[in-house]
Chain A
């Protein structure tokens, strides 16, 4: 758990980078710090592992005040991932990943086992990749290594500073999925900086939206999209926030609430999608008119119905817009 208690950061007398910030990252959850550049999100993150000092207030990490801990020990207990992966080019992949365990004095055998486990987690061969150097890997692989390096000593808390920002959209999407998969297994308490709204919606259990060092709203992604607290929040998420919120719902949700259409066996040109696909991607697929009919498959690979733009629109209308307007009236 990471708690920010009235945290303020000042540079000199005039400049206030972070102003009276107060929120908590619950155990095992991902909180995304989101906002335009210069909003103080990276400063806030770097205050947790004391790369930036705290001017006022305190940060409590798992019931310990960060001020009372030794900075070096504190940092070794916190996983840290940065945008450009920060791998050391003079060390092999194994040396890079096992750096913190090495600093902590783990035995050779412990390190070896941990390395094999971590590499399995990201689906890379430990033997093959262990001896390679960072420059011999692709950008996506380097970033994966950056992530498992932060996990190496099994820290309870992780800080991620735009970890996927430098990747191309396709790889980024894949690594985000992969990371969420890993997170389901390791359940770390994560503070994540992003300037990408879609990434925030996808990764976050809760989002902190910042502007000029102040919290505009602290809420779950769906709440933030459906109940923006003020003009800045609704503008930040944009006019298409209803469509953005579709990425929080899956075909399965639509099936349970309004049901799917029947499958027409006579149509030749069909495409299939998985029931767990999110509705935003489904909608873009439908709009692209890639096929005459889009069939939904369940996990047993059975055709269970078809989906159309009309159905998505209907869902959007009742489920999302309906709730939005209801909230405005209430």
Chain B
């Protein structure tokens, strides 16, 4: 116990700093992923053929092991002198987030009660009015579930990004492994777990705030 306290006394500022780095990397990747994934998911509801193709590609992306994807990123981004570090990690995280976000947006909207959609059209709503007022609000719980999956997944994958020099809490773990320092490994892992729990709780709160009771029951 005493050893732990001494470890934390020395390393706390560094752990905190790496946690923030980790959170920033994941948040930026999610924001960009949302900006791409949600409009794309909405658009796909109007184009069945494209939807099948895009969802297929997104599922394949998700099956690539993260370490392999990071590996592929390095030669590609070397072309613009960004082979290792933040940029390849960021791009990989954006790609990984696409499937849960696009798929949940797409299925959420597609599964809105067809009678509700019929009523909306029959009452004279234009397509964008129907989307904004009826379909998206009613698909909100499903869309948010996709976002939460993407965030949790990215917090985990970002740990591996430390291998290509993207920083974050993975640094503690990789250093701990190479030095045989259990304190580093454990503190890194616990910090990642806490970060994931906090992020998920915040998203759950947001989800509850923005969906009305009728839909959560």
Chain A residues engaging chain B, CB cutoff 8 angstroms: 49, 51, 72-77, 80, 82-84, 86-91, 99-100, 103, 133-136, 159
Q: Which residue in B118, B120, B121, B214 is a CB contact (below 8 Å) of A89?
A: B214
Interface contact tally, CB-CB below 8 A: 67
B116 lies within 8 A of chain A by Cβ: yes
Contact B214 A135 (CB under 8 A): yes
Interface residues of B in 178-217 (CB under 8 A from A): 211-215, 217
Q: Which chain A positions have C-beta within 8 A of B217?
A: 135
Contact B212 A133 (CB under 8 A): yes
A211 and B18 CA atoms in complex are apart in Å by 74
With CB as the reference atom, state the residue of chain B lying closest to A152: B123
A86 and B217 CA atoms in complex are apart in Å by 19
A90 and B141 CA atoms in complex are apart in Å by 12
Q: Which residue in A88, A89, A100, A135 is a CB contact (below 8 Å) of B124?
A: A100
Q: Which chain B positions have C-beta within 8 A of A80?
A: 119, 122-123
A228 and B3 CA atoms in complex are apart in Å by 98
The size class of the interface chain B forms with chain A is 20 to 34
Contact A90 B215 (CB under 8 A): yes
With CB as the reference atom, state the residue of chain B lying closest to A75: B124
A89 and B137 CA atoms in complex are apart in Å by 9
B138 lies within 8 A of chain A by Cβ: yes
Contact B123 A90 (CB under 8 A): no
12 A-B pairs besides A90-B214, A133-B213 with CB distance below 8 A are A75-B123, A82-B119, A82-B122, A86-B116, A86-B120, A88-B119, A88-B134, A89-B138, A89-B214, A89-B215, A90-B215, A136-B214
Q: Which chain B positions have C-beta within 8 A of A75?
A: 121-124
Q: Which chain B positions have C-beta within 8 A of A77?
A: 124
A75 and B122 CA atoms in complex are apart in Å by 6
Q: Which residue in B124, B138, B140 is a CB contact (below 8 Å) of A76?
A: B124
Contact A82 B118 (CB under 8 A): yes
Contact with A along B113-138 (1 / 0, CB 8 A): 00110111111111001000110011
Contact B212 A89 (CB under 8 A): yes
A300 and B126 CA atoms in complex are apart in Å by 53
28 A–B contacts from the bound complex (CB under 8 Å): A51-B118, A51-B121, A51-B122, A72-B126, A73-B124, A75-B122, A76-B123, A76-B124, A80-B122, A80-B123, A82-B119, A86-B115, A86-B119, A87-B119, A89-B116, A89-B138, A89-B212, A89-B214, A90-B134, A90-B140, A90-B211, A90-B215, A99-B123, A103-B123, A103-B125, A103-B129, A133-B212, A136-B214
A82 and B134 CA atoms in complex are apart in Å by 17
A83 and B211 CA atoms in complex are apart in Å by 26
A83 and B119 CA atoms in complex are apart in Å by 10
With CB as the reference atom, state the residue of chain B lying closest to A51: B122
Q: Which chain A positions have C-beta within 8 A of B126?
A: 72
Q: Which chain B positions have C-beta within 8 A of A91?
A: 133
Nearest chain B CB to A132's CB is how many angstroms away? 10
With CB as the reference atom, state the residue of chain B lying closest to A72: B124
With CB as the reference atom, state the residue of chain A lying closest to B217: A135
Contact B116 A88 (CB under 8 A): yes
Q: Which chain A positions have C-beta within 8 A of B119?
A: 80, 82, 86-88
Nearest chain A CB to B192's CB is how many angstroms away? 36
Contact A103 B124 (CB under 8 A): yes
Q: Which chain A positions have C-beta within 8 A of B133?
A: 88, 91
A76 and B122 CA atoms in complex are apart in Å by 8
Contact B122 A49 (CB under 8 A): yes
With CB as the reference atom, state the residue of chain B lying closest to A159: B122
Nearest chain B CB to A328's CB is how many angstroms away? 43
Nearest chain B CB to A60's CB is how many angstroms away? 19
Nearest chain B CB to A8's CB is how many angstroms away? 22
A89 and B214 CA atoms in complex are apart in Å by 6
Q: Which chain B positions have C-beta within 8 A of A87?
A: 119
Looking at A83, A88, A134, A136, which has the most chain B CB atoms within 10 Å of its CB?
A88
A72 and B123 CA atoms in complex are apart in Å by 8
Q: Which chain A positions have C-beta within 8 A of B118?
A: 51, 82, 86
Nearest chain A CB to B46's CB is how many angstroms away? 17
Nearest chain B CB to A186's CB is how many angstroms away? 18
With CB as the reference atom, state the residue of chain B lying closest to A146: B119
Nearest chain A CB to B130's CB is how many angstroms away? 10
Q: Which chain A positions have C-beta within 8 A of B140?
A: 90
Q: Which chain A positions have C-beta within 8 A of B211?
A: 90
Q: Which chain A positions have C-beta within 8 A of B120?
A: 86, 88
A100 and B133 CA atoms in complex are apart in Å by 12
Nearest chain B CB to A61's CB is how many angstroms away? 14
Nearest chain B CB to A123's CB is how many angstroms away? 23
